[in-house]
Amino acid sequence: MQITRIRPLRGPNLWTRATAIEAVVHCDPGECNHAALPGFEERLRARFPAIGALQPHGAEHVLTLAHVLEVAALQLQAQAGCPVTFSRTQQTVEAGTYQVVVEYTEEAVGRLAMEQAGALIQATLQDAPFDADAVIARLRELDEDERIGPSTGSIVDAAVARGIPFRRLTSGSLVQLGWGSRARRIQAAELDTTSAVAESIAQDKDLTKRLLHAAGVPVPLGRPAADLEDAWRVAEEVGLPVVVKPQDGNQGKGVTVNIATRAQLEAAWNAAREYGDEIMVERFLPGHDFRLLVVGRQLVAAARRDPPQVLGDGQHTVRELVDIVNQDPRRGTGHGTALTRIRLDDIALGRLAAEGLTPESVPVQGQRVVLRNNANLSTGGSATDVTDDVHPDIAARAVEAAQTIGLHICGVDVVCETMLRPLEEQNGGIVEVNAAPGLRMHLSPSFGRPRNVGAPMVDELFAPGEDGRIPVIAVTGTNGKTTTTRLISHLFASHGLRVGMTNTDGVYVAGRQIDSGDCSGPRSARNVLFHPEVDAAVLECARGGILREGLGFDRCQVAVVTNVGAGDHLGLNFITTVDDVAVLKRVIVQNVAPTGFSVLNAADPHVAAMATVCPGKVIFFAADRHHPVMATHRAQGARVVYVDGDHIVAAEGSWRESVPLRDIPLTRGGAIGFQVENAMASVGAAWAAGLPWDTIRRGLAGFTNDSDNAPGRFNVMDYRGATVIADYGHNPDAMRALVQAVQAMPAARRSVVISGAGDRRDEDITEQTQILGGAFDDVVLYQDACQRGREDGEVLALLQKGLQGAERTGYVAEIHGEFAAIDHALARLHPGDLCLVLVDQVEEALAHLAGRCEAAAAEAR
């Protein structure tokens, strides 16, 4: 068995809506039935007993090693604690070759699981050792490192519950919620609206205390100390016991409390200096350590934090008791788990020594052994939820503290005896105010009720009813995608929206091109959705991007499928039939929002059939309103778009709206059939998105298919009285549509300039010139700039083959070089002739043609 390719599918894809790892696996004939391999299953289970049943869901009785790989990759992740359930193995058209797809939650974990599943199978085949426990531990550790921490995760989960899309911007905790101009960003438990000034104030504990004191909030007395001697003077001023801590510290690092002697102060000073140069000394407040969480202007949670400790049983040593406590699965080494493991470090050893104990001491039954003075969860402390006990006056004080500092999300540290009485009554006070507070103690307290603190944070970011989404229109099909994408974008721009558009020509934001090349894939789509100036996104979704990585969004408001026809790019990436193409194209339809629409070509049976998988509603379009699909859909009171005489009509029940074809320049008065279809698809999309009809009419009238608005899409030019048309058509369906369009245009003699893309099947390349040979007098062939795996001259030979026995063509020339071929064809033109140029290098060829036409016009003047 050989894994020839592994790639991540980072969005909804051909197989599932979930993220997944896709592997291409080749099995030798003897590996196509694992049961026929002597002792294979026994050796496999000996190496990985937790693999479970080898029969994947939906698999046939005979299982190949590819199926075993699927099960192993899924179970390795499951054993590591990853919540994955989907997997699939699909046989390809190549004998012994399979596509294995396994869901992942973290890409690095999914990839490693697939690789290690392959290593497991190889070890089993070779009867070599394989340490499954070590692999699972490695996967678990990697998952903990990669996944979003619990604090940020709670906010993301709350956002997802409200239907708000999200994407991590870094490997850390910086996350974008929402899209485009409606997006907001968080970093851990900190909002994008929180100022750096407020965060800076919170880090300066002395400034924080002075501001709170000025606002009447109770705080402990104290100040920064210049040196150890000054620290002792401060301690004597405020009265022992005291607390020593770094002035800009966090997570309890370098904090020592309840200092009662000069020696303890010196040790605390040295510990604090490890985490900062500015050291605070302040009055120690007796009581418990409480953390109050403030979001906006409300208290949302409160917890009592207890220092790391163990309870003696008269049998185990302190070290053994710590090991027992650390066996709690909620305890980990970082911030990715609910609790942190207790450490027997120098601070813990010092605390034990103060109690006359060592790690090898055996505490008596019931003896409470405290291992640290501070109660931070990050140092092994525990938390008890006390939200329901907080006195209204304490809650008001916490909110007042957060507002004074300027924090939208604020962790307020309070020391007092109880939450049941006001602070002033018990000599309590606020000792710290924290930006980006940890949320673990509230999400998963050691004792008490968990609090969904992520929800109020999302409510602080997004008003009720808002989901952070902008309109997303996805467009796919075999032909017409780019023109339809551009026209829909123009309609949205006519409504005053800043439109982000991706297509095979580039990425555009508010009419400005920000990237070039073929940008019809998911990466470009994500870039548009990240852009802060995008109010609506119109995204061309080509087959390659969907196969390679999935969609760049979780769902769209409108999905448009222009056509499937005879398909394109057949034979590539295991897409070999038109049915395969249709299954791939319908991915955008399957991922329409339940409140959204699919706009589908009713005249194309493969497209019309996609209506059954659309979660939302369907708008059908076709020139013939009497087409059975159209008639049935309209009879059911659903939306349709069709041609009635010289108008495009949108109808729903008895309601109708029409636009004259003469007012849609793209269609040249309705003469260009495929542009009429593109216009109908665009009208359907704009209607589905709720654009006003006045805007739709104005947008249609203002869109012309010149080289600026739609480069390479039936761009019509004049050359010395002859008509020159430039188009990027490159498959048989496009040739038929172009022939139909040019036949509607008068011409004394017709010529065509054509090459062929080498990554098409032989029959697809040949069929193009078979179609053109019956409609054009002259055919000028040229070799494509990129042969895409073909030998020199091979494509030209296939094009020549298609012209054998051509009904009309009487002149055929082979020219090397696209521009030379264009010049050759132009030189043969006379007034009244028509020349169709099928361009390869779109921008360069259009510029070349424009230059020739301008020069000819200048000569005529």
Q: Please give the full DSSP string across 519-545, using - where no structure is assigned.
A: --SHHHHHHHHH-TT-SEEEEE--HHH
Q: Are residues 730 and 677 in the same domain?
A: no
Q: Are residues 264 and 340 in the same domain?
A: no
Q: Are residues 514 and 567 in the same domain?
A: yes
Instruction: Please return the burial class of 39, using the count of CB atoms within 10 Å of its CB with bins 0-12, 13-18 and 19+.
Output: exposed
Question: Does residue 289 fall inside a structural domain?
Answer: no
Q: Are residues 658 and 691 in the same domain?
A: yes
Please give the pLDDT value at position 501: 97
Report the DSSP beta bridge partners of residue 223.
281
3-state secondary structure of 106: coil
HSE at residue 194, side-chain half, CA atoms within 13 A, is 29
* Range in 124-133, 206-215, 567-576, 674-683 with the lowest mean pLDDT: 567-576
* Range in 242-256, 386-400, 760-774 with the lowest mean pLDDT: 242-256
Instruction: Please return the burial class of 129, using the count of CB atoms within 10 Å of its CB with bins 0-12, 13-18 and 19+.
Output: exposed
Q: Are residues 694 and 726 in the same domain?
A: no
Which residues have a Cβ under 8 Å from the Cβ of 126 and sit 6 or more positions away? Answer: none
CA neighbor of 561 nearest in space, from 592, 523, 516: 592
Contact 290, 418 (CB under 8 A): no
Spatial distance between the Cα atoms of 695 and 680, rounded to a whole number of angstroms: 15
Tokens describing residue 730 = 């490159």
- Residue 689 carries which side chain, given as an amino acid letter? A
Peptide bond into 241 cis (omega under 30): yes
Which residues have a Cβ under 8 Å from the Cβ of 609 and sit 6 or more positions away? Answer: 582
Contact 24, 562 (CB under 8 A): no
The Cβ of residue 749 has, within 10 Å, a number of other Cβ atoms equal to 16
* 337 has pLDDT over 70: no
Query: Which regions of 31-156 does DSSP assign to beta strands (E)?
Result: 87-91, 97-103
* Range in 159-163, 217-221, 678-682, 776-780 with the lowest mean pLDDT: 217-221
- The number of angstroms, rounded, from the C-alpha of 669 to the middle of its chain's C-alpha atoms is 42
Length of the chain: 861
Question: Does residue 597 fall inside a structural domain?
Answer: yes
* 166 has pLDDT over 80: yes
* 777 has pLDDT over 60: yes
Q: Are residues 736 and 813 in the same domain?
A: yes
Note the pLDDT tens digit of each residue in 363-408.
999 888 888 867 777 777 889 999 999 999 999 999 999 999 999 9
Phi then psi for residue 472, to 5 deg, are -120, 120
Phi then psi for residue 452, to 5 deg, are -80, 75
- Residue 779 carries which side chain, given as an amino acid letter? V
CA neighbor of 522 nearest in space, from 541, 503, 538, 505: 541
Please give the pLDDT value at position 470: 98
Note the pLDDT tens digit of each residue in 432-478.
999 999 898 999 998 999 999 999 999 999 999 999 999 999 999 99
Instruction: Please return the burial class of 7, using the count of CB atoms within 10 Å of its CB with bins 0-12, 13-18 and 19+.
Output: middle
3-state secondary structure of 406: coil
Contact 756, 768 (CB under 8 A): yes
Q: Are residues 819 and 785 in the same domain?
A: yes
Q: Are residues 233 and 349 in the same domain?
A: no
3-state secondary structure of 565: coil
Question: Does residue 565 fall inside a structural domain?
Answer: yes
Spatial distance between the Cα atoms of 740 and 737, rounded to a whole number of angstroms: 5
Contact 749, 830 (CB under 8 A): yes
* Position with higher pLDDT, 3 vs 786: 3
- Location of structure tokens 């790892």: 21
Contact 787, 794 (CB under 8 A): yes
- Residue 402 carries which side chain, given as an amino acid letter? A
Q: Are residues 677 and 746 in the same domain?
A: no
% residues pLDDT > 90 (the chain):
73
CA dihedral sign, ordered 376, 377, 381, 386:
positive
Domain count, the chain: 5
Please give the pLDDT value at position 143: 94
Q: Which CATH number fits the domain that encloses residue 684?
A: 3.40.1190.10
- Location of structure tokens 């391999």: 37
Please give the pLDDT value at position 137: 96
- Location of structure tokens 């790690």: 359
End residue of a domain, out of 118, 146, 174 = 146
Instruction: Please return the burial class of 33, using the count of CB atoms within 10 Å of its CB with bins 0-12, 13-18 and 19+.
Output: middle
Question: Does residue 204 fall inside a structural domain?
Answer: no
* 758 has pLDDT over 80: no
* Range in 24-38, 98-112, 126-140, 675-689 with the lowest mean pLDDT: 24-38
CA dihedral sign, ordered 570, 575, 576, 581:
negative
Q: Are residues 607 and 636 in the same domain?
A: yes
Question: Does residue 620 fall inside a structural domain?
Answer: yes
Question: Does residue 425 fall inside a structural domain?
Answer: no
Please give the pLDDT value at position 271: 87
- 300 sits in the region (left: phi over 0; alpha: psi -120 to 50; else beta) called alpha
Q: Are residues 476 and 565 in the same domain?
A: yes
Tokens describing residue 503 = 């297509």
The Cβ of residue 859 has, within 10 Å, a number of other Cβ atoms equal to 8
End residue of a domain, out of 355, 372, 389 = 372
Note the pLDDT tens digit of each residue in 488-526.
999 999 999 999 999 998 999 999 999 998 899 999 999
Mean pLDDT of 292-297: 97
Question: Does residue 437 fall inside a structural domain?
Answer: no
- For 299, which DSSP code? E
End residue of a domain, out of 668, 701, 734 = 701
Report the DSSP beta bridge partners of residue 216.
none
3-state secondary structure of 399: helix
Question: Does residue 729 fall inside a structural domain?
Answer: yes
Please give the pLDDT value at position 250: 66
Q: Describe the strand order of the beta sheet including 834-838 as a list of residue ranges.
A: 715-719, 722-727, 834-838, 750-754, 778-782, 811-815
Cα-only R_g, the chain: 35
Mean pLDDT of 202-216: 91
Helix (H) or strand (E) holding 856: helix 842-860
* 824 has pLDDT over 90: yes
Spatial distance between the Cα atoms of 835 and 816, rounded to a whole number of angstroms: 19
The Cβ of residue 431 has, within 10 Å, a number of other Cβ atoms equal to 27
Q: Residue 665 belongs to what domain range?
A: 472-701
Spatial distance between the Cα atoms of 726 and 716, rounded to a whole number of angstroms: 7
Q: Strands 279-283 and 222-225, how do they pair?
A: antiparallel
- For 127, which DSSP code? T
Work out the mean pLDDT of the chain and round it to a whole number. 92
Please give the pLDDT value at position 126: 95
Contact 766, 853 (CB under 8 A): no
Q: Strands 647-652 and 655-660, how do they pair?
A: antiparallel
- For 739, which DSSP code? H
- Maximum alpha-carbon separation in the chain: 109
| DSSP string for 328-384 | STTEESSSSSSEE-----HHHHHHHHHTT--TT--PPTT-EEE--SS--GGGT-EEE
Please give the pLDDT value at position 571: 65
Spatial distance between the Cα atoms of 497 and 534, rounded to a whole number of angstroms: 8
Q: Are residues 47 and 134 in the same domain?
A: yes
